[in-house]
């Protein structure tokens, strides 16, 4: 049997699961090794006040076709849901709150002198952003990160006041750490074609599907994991949880227990202990506060750095954002995200929610605090330096709309026998 037909996948997050499914359908024999006792990695659920909610990722970016195609093949397409169309808000560094500018991408304004931009960052910063129109399209067109692009074209105030809160709230990294092409595919090309960043944002917005920029599943995005795992089971993938891999080479993996598992290795978990790590804490509180049903800050609030009296960097008003949650409970659900170094308690989350929503919030009926440790994306020079095949967010960049197509591309490039199964 040729070696390529047997593949050992290390890591049972969404990248490993998606790759395993593609490879078994292509006719490979798969063994998947997962360190923890459960599959799904950062895509998982927890129960708060009796409702099963996403504990990690809760939505995917609506760009590209990879995630919807996967959901179709998992028979979940009928359960795709979109968030409420009310805008999110920005909690500014001076403590006041404004709706996020309507025409924007990752917080980058498409119309720098629009009133909602001026309200958010002030006239001086908006005028500086407008200078983007006068710069040649080539300026910053080779920027690696979102931060570099925005700083050079629109100025630091737009970066700090609009882009950083959105990027930190959505991607859990600073704009300088966010790879431009992965976070906003097509934006660089549009800048070169349109001649300004604002025009590029507008053209990307116009070419995006109508409606929201993200989507999820009724019942939570974690249902994707259950469906993937059921398929792996059906197609005969050997899935082993509680098996940590400590070493890999071209022909196999060695587990912490000293077992050698042979086959071509696909790494869906970074083994390098020195990969950069970000710690994020997510607190979800369920409160009996029907008066919040009018969604005082739309679907949630992103927090500018330096905002006084608020430790959270983002608040999602889950019951205002997702209709299926509101339909499941008379309670209001709020989810707050925190950066490393904050001692997060349900009481801190309640107080932050009060500051961010501008309303009195009663003591939570129930709550959950989850700590996440995420590896950052390795730099390009490190990629595949040892010839190993790798998938997962340390390789592709964060977010399901990036992780999933990347994992599929790498899996599909692995040679396999000709008679794949029918999907
Ligand atoms: C709080 C939070 C909110 C998020 N929100 C969103 C969102 O709304 N939208 C979005 O698109 N993305 C979101 N993300 C990011 C998204 O969840 C991730 O990009 C994606 O799930 C990463 O998948 P992965 O398979 O690459 O990695 P992971 O999910 O981290 O999976 C890696 C797996 O490998 C296992 N593993 C590690 N080391 C070993 C080893 N040595 N041996 C065996 N197994 C090992 C781990 O236990 C884990 O199960 C969010 C992330 C977090 C934490």
The residue contributing the CA closest to ligand 1 atom 38 is 269
Is residue 372 lining ligand 1, measured as CB closer than 6 Å?
yes
Cα of 404 to ligand 1 centre, how many Å?
11
DSSP result, 255-284: ETTS-EEESEEEE-S---TTS-EEEEEEEE
Residue 398: its pLDDT value, please?
84
Largest CA distance in the chain: 68
pLDDT, tens digit, 9 for 90 and up, residues 207-235: 665 556 899 999 999 999 999 999 999 99
Cα of 307 to ligand 1 centre, how many Å?
29
Is residue 36 lining ligand 1, measured as CB closer than 6 Å?
yes
Mean per-residue pLDDT, 197-214: 81
Of 130-144, 296-310, 311-325, which range is least confident? 296-310
The architecture of the domain spanning 277-375 is Alpha-Beta Complex (3.90)
Domains of the chain, residue spans: 3-43+66-76+219-274+377-412, 101-207, 277-375
Is residue 239 lining ligand 1, measured as CB closer than 6 Å?
no
What is the pTM assigned to this prediction?
Answer: 0.90
pLDDT at 131 over 80: yes
Cα of 332 to ligand 1 centre, how many Å?
27
pLDDT, tens digit, 9 for 90 and up, residues 55-112: 999 999 887 899 999 999 999 999 999 999 888 999 998 899 999 998 899 999 999 9
Of all atoms in ligand 1, which is nearest to the CA of residue 255?
A: 42
Residue 417: its pLDDT value, please?
46
Of all atoms in ligand 1, which is nearest to the CA of residue 400?
A: 11
Report for 42-46, 163-167, 168-172: range of highest mean pLDDT: 42-46
Are 285 and 353 spatial neighbours (Cβ–Cβ below 8 Å)? yes
What whole-number percentage of the chain has pLDDT above 90?
Answer: 76
Please state the separation of Cα 321 from the chain's center in Å. 16
Helical residues (DSSP H) of 161-303, grouped into ranges: 164-171, 180-183, 187-194, 197-207, 223-234
The residue contributing the CA closest to ligand 1 atom 6 is 57
Strand pairing partners for 332? 287
| Topology of domain 3-43+66-76+219-274+377-412, CATH | FAD/NAD(P)-binding domain (3.50.50)
Integer Cα distance of 51 and 19 in angstroms: 30
CATH for 101-207 (3.55.40.20, 3.20.20.70, 3.40.50.2300, 1.10.3110.10) = 1.10.3110.10
Cα of 69 to ligand 1 centre, how many Å?
20
């Amino acid at each position: 049997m040729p070696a390529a037909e047997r593949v050992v996948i290390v890591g049972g997050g969404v990248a490993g699961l998606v790759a395993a499914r593609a490879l078994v359908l292509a006719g490979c024999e798969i063994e998947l090794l997962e360190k923890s006792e459960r599959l799904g990695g950062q895509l998982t659920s927890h129960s708060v006040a009796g409702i099963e909610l996403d504990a990690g990722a809760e939505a995917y970016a609506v760009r590209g076709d990879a995630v919807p195609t996967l959901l179709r093949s998992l028979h979940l397409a009928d359960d795709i849901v979109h968030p409420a169309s009310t805008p999110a808000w920005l909690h500014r560094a001076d403590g006041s709150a404004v709706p996020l500018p309507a025409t924007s991408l990752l917080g980058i304004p498409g119309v720098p002198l629009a009133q909602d931009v001026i309200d958010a960052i002030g006239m001086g910063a908006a005028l500086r952003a407008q200078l983007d129109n006068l710069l040649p399209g080539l300026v910053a067109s080779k920027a690696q990160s979102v931060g570099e692009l925005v700083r050079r074209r629109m100025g630091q105030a737009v970066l700090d006041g609009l882009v950083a809160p959105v990027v930190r709230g959505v991607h859990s990294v600073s704009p300088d750490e966010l790879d431009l092409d992965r976070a906003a595919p097509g934006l660089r090309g549009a800048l070169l074609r349109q001649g300004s960043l604002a025009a590029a944002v507008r053209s990307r917005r116009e070419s995006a599907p109508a409606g929201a920029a993200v989507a999820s599943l009724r019942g939570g995005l974690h249902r994707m994991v259950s469906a993937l795992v059921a398929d792996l089971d059906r197609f005969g993938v050997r899935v082993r949880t509680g098996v940590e891999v400590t070493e890999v080479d071209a022909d196999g993996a060695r587990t912490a227990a000293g077992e050698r598992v042979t086959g071509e290795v696909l790494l869906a978990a970074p083994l390098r202990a020195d990969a950069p790590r970000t710690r994020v804490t997510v607190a979800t509180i369920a409160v009996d506060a029907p008066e919040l049903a009018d969604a005082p800050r739309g679907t949630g609030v992103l927090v500018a750095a330096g905002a006084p009296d608020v430790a959270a960097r983002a608040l999602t008003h889950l019951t205002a954002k997702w209709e299926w949650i509101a339909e499941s409970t008379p309670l209001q659900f709020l989810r707050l995200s925190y950066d490393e170094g904050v001692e997060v308690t349900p009481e801190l989350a309640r107080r932050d929610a009060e500051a961010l929503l501008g309303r009195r919030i009663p003591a939570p009926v129930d709550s959950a605090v989850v700590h996440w440790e995420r590896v950052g994306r390795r730099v390009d020079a490190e990629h595949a330096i040892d010839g190993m095949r790798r998938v997962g967010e340390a390789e592709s960049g964060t977010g399901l709309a990036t992780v999933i197509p990347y994992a599929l591309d790498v899996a599909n490039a692995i040679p396999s026998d000709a008679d794949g199964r029918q999907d």
